[in-house]
Amino acid sequence: MHALVYTGTEKIEYREEKDPIVKPGETLIKVQASGICGSDMHAYHGKDERRIPPLILGHEFSGTSLDGKFKNKQVVINPLISCENCAYCQNKREHLCPERTMIGMSTPMKRDGGLAELVSVPEKNIYETPNDLSIKEAALAEPAAVALHAVLLAEQNLKKPLSESKILIQGAGAIGLLCGLVLNKEKNSTNIIMSDPNKKRLDECAKYLKADFVSPDNKSIKENNFDLILESVGLEVTRHQAIKSIAPGGTILHIGLTQPSGSFDFKRLTIQEVTLVGTYCYTNKDFEQTLKILNEKKLGDLGWIEYRDLKKGSEAFNEIHNGTCVAPKIILIP
């Protein structure tokens, strides 16, 4: 088979690889669409110790099952693998399982991902694609589940309805846009500002999202101003802005993973009784709900996705790295 292989810092090669060896309890998937995630970019930058080269990246994918109980059916994969036995798994919080791992990751065991023609996955992680959801758009399920889970966490922690809250979304990538779409379409929230230094990407998001679109240094991002901030970037500078801009008693949802550490104003967090919530993935229930939302077209037109050939994937990684990519999400087609 052919695959896109992460071979070193800022190095991605499209090359021939051995077909996957299917283990007991697993199924071979012929990949038909596979998205590039921000965490794939962290690996590309050499900043993810969980993804060690050489490795086939990719955990946002859909395709056709070649064997098992889903044989010949179009399917989408939940890439999060949990133990199913711990207290978290038993209480439907499998996303917090201490032994969790993910397809397209090197630890605790190497498991090649979906930026390839073929991939072997645990059968328990396979979902049949709903009838009205295209196989290409089904690859959006994983990041959309991340966004849905983040919005639901925000709803649990806020002291007022989301529809009445003043909201800042930092970052106009796929997660930021998907959070905005869930807020718009599912929670009736329109009092939203989205910030990003990439004006072309903001202009693209503006075609699909009801919000105001500004650069991070815009004067509309005032101190003590927002009930909810969705920080989908994960940089020290964006965290600094978030803690300054959140209103007393407000909630910050920290989703971004770009920069793992740095200074932060914990004094302000404490004095202003701000809630800071980290969120990384989603539950199985969230994933199932996301498939329903996508199947019913509740997030609207997904024309902001850009589809490219897998063999041109290295160019896509380079464009995302350079900040010249306009599309919030690139999905590669083998």
Helix/strand/coil (H, E, C) string of the chain?
CEEEEEEECCEEEEEECCCCCCCCCEEEEEEEEEECCHHHHHHHCCCCCCCCCCEECCCEEEEEECCHHHCCCEEEECCEECCCCCHHHHCCCHHHCCCCEECCECCCCCECCCCECEEEEEHHHEEECCCCCCCCHHHHHHHHHHHHHHHHHHHHHCCCCHHHCCEEEECCCHHHHHHHHHHHHHHCCCCEEEECCCHHHHHHHCCCCCCEEECCCCCCCCCCCEEEEEECCCCHHHHHHHHHHEEEEEEEEECCCCCCCCCCCHHHHHHCCCEEEECCCCCHHHHHHHHHHHHCCCCCCCCCEEEEEHHHHHHHHHHHHHCCCCCCEEEEEC
Statement to judge: residues 97 and 196 lie in one domain: no
d(CA 56, CA 285): 27
Per the domain annotation, does 295 fall within a domain? no
Bridge partners of 330, per DSSP, are 306
Q: Residue 196 — φ and ψ, nearest 5°?
A: -170, 145
Per the domain annotation, does 41 fall within a domain? yes
Q: How many domains does the chain contain in total?
A: 2
This prediction's pTM = 0.97
d(CA 3, CA 121): 16
Where does a domain end: 278, 294, 317? 278
Statement to judge: residues 123 and 17 lie in one domain: yes
pLDDT confidence of residue 109: 86
Q: Are 227 and 133 in contact (CB under 8 A)?
A: no
Per the domain annotation, does 85 fall within a domain? yes
Residue 99 belongs to domain with CATH number = 3.90.180.10
- Judge whether residue 107 has pLDDT over 90: no
| CA of residue 95 relative to chain centroid, distance | 14
pLDDT tens for residues 189-205? Answer: 999 999 999 999 999 99
Statement to judge: residues 227 and 156 lie in one domain: yes
Per the domain annotation, does 236 fall within a domain? yes
pLDDT tens for residues 315-325? Answer: 999 999 998 99
Per the domain annotation, does 139 fall within a domain? no
Statement to judge: residues 76 and 166 lie in one domain: no
Q: Residue 11 — φ and ψ, nearest 5°?
A: -130, 120
d(CA 28, CA 21): 9
Per the domain annotation, does 293 fall within a domain? no
pLDDT tens for residues 35-86? Answer: 999 999 999 999 989 999 999 999 999 999 999 999 999 999 999 999 999 9
Statement to judge: residues 180 and 84 lie in one domain: no
pLDDT confidence of residue 256: 93
Per the domain annotation, does 186 fall within a domain? yes
Confidence of residue 137 (pLDDT cuts 50, 70, 90): very high
Domain carrying residue 58: 2-129+304-333
- Judge whether residue 111 has pLDDT over 90: yes
Per the domain annotation, does 311 fall within a domain? yes
d(CA 114, CA 20): 11
When pLDDT is averaged across residues 308-318 and rounded to a whole number, the result is: 97
